[in-house]
Amino acid sequence: RMSIPGLVVLTDDAGQPIGTAPKADVHTTDTPLHLAFSCHVIGPDGRVLLTRRALAKKTWPGVWTNSFCGHPAPGEAMEDAIRRRAEQELGIRLTDLRPALPEYRYRAVDAGGIVENEICPVFIATLDSDLTPDTSEVAEWAWATPQSLADAVDGTPFAFSPWLVEQVPQLLAIGALEALDGARA
C-alpha cells in the first residue's frame, strides 16, 4: 500500500484508525488523538542517544528528549516509518529494531499551549552508522548511560520532554535499556 507523506493517522480511544489529517495542522491547543512513535537508540557502547529538539520545532522546541520521534503515514508500516525518520532526522541506519512499550500513550501540553495527544508505541534500536543529524530537527545530541539518564530524568524532569520522563522509568522497569547496556559491558 502506498503511504501518503505529510498526513498523520487519527485514531479512536482504542487505537483504531478513524481518518487522517495534515501533520502541519494536527498539533494545536486541541490536538486530536493520533498515531506516533518514539525510538530510543543504543550505541555500540551501551549508551542511549538523547537529542535536543531544534528551536524551530512546533512542540517542545529546545527540549531534550529521546533519540527521535515521528508519525507513520497512512498505510505505512510502523517499522518502515521508524527507519524512514531515523534516516531523515539523524542520518542513521538502525539494526535490532524492536518494540519496548507497545501500548504507550500520552497527552501533554507545552509552555505555548500546544498539545501532544498520541498513541505512541516505544521502540528500542541499535545504531548501525555514523550520526549526521538534520539541524532543522536536532539542535544538539548527547550519549548517556541508562543509569545517568534515569538519574537526570528523576532529578530534573522539567529539563526533558514529558514523554521521555514517563518512558524512562517504564523502560528501566522492564529491563529494555539495561539489557542492551549489560550485553556490551
What are the CA-CA distances from residue 32 to residues 10, 86, 92, 115 (Å)? Answer: 7, 25, 30, 9
**H-only helix segments in the chain:** 23-26, 78-85, 146-155, 162-173, 176-183
Residue 133, beta-bridge partner list: none
Per DSSP, the chain holds a count of helices (H) and strands (E) of 5, 12
Active-site residue, 39 included = no
Residues in the chain: 185
Q: What is the 3-state secondary structure (H, E, C) of 25-63?
A: HHCCCCCCCEECEEEEEECCCCCEEEEEECCCCCCCCCC
Catalytic residue among 76, 89, 116, 118: 118
Catalytic residue among 39, 69, 89, 166: 69
So which residues are the catalytic ones?
69, 118
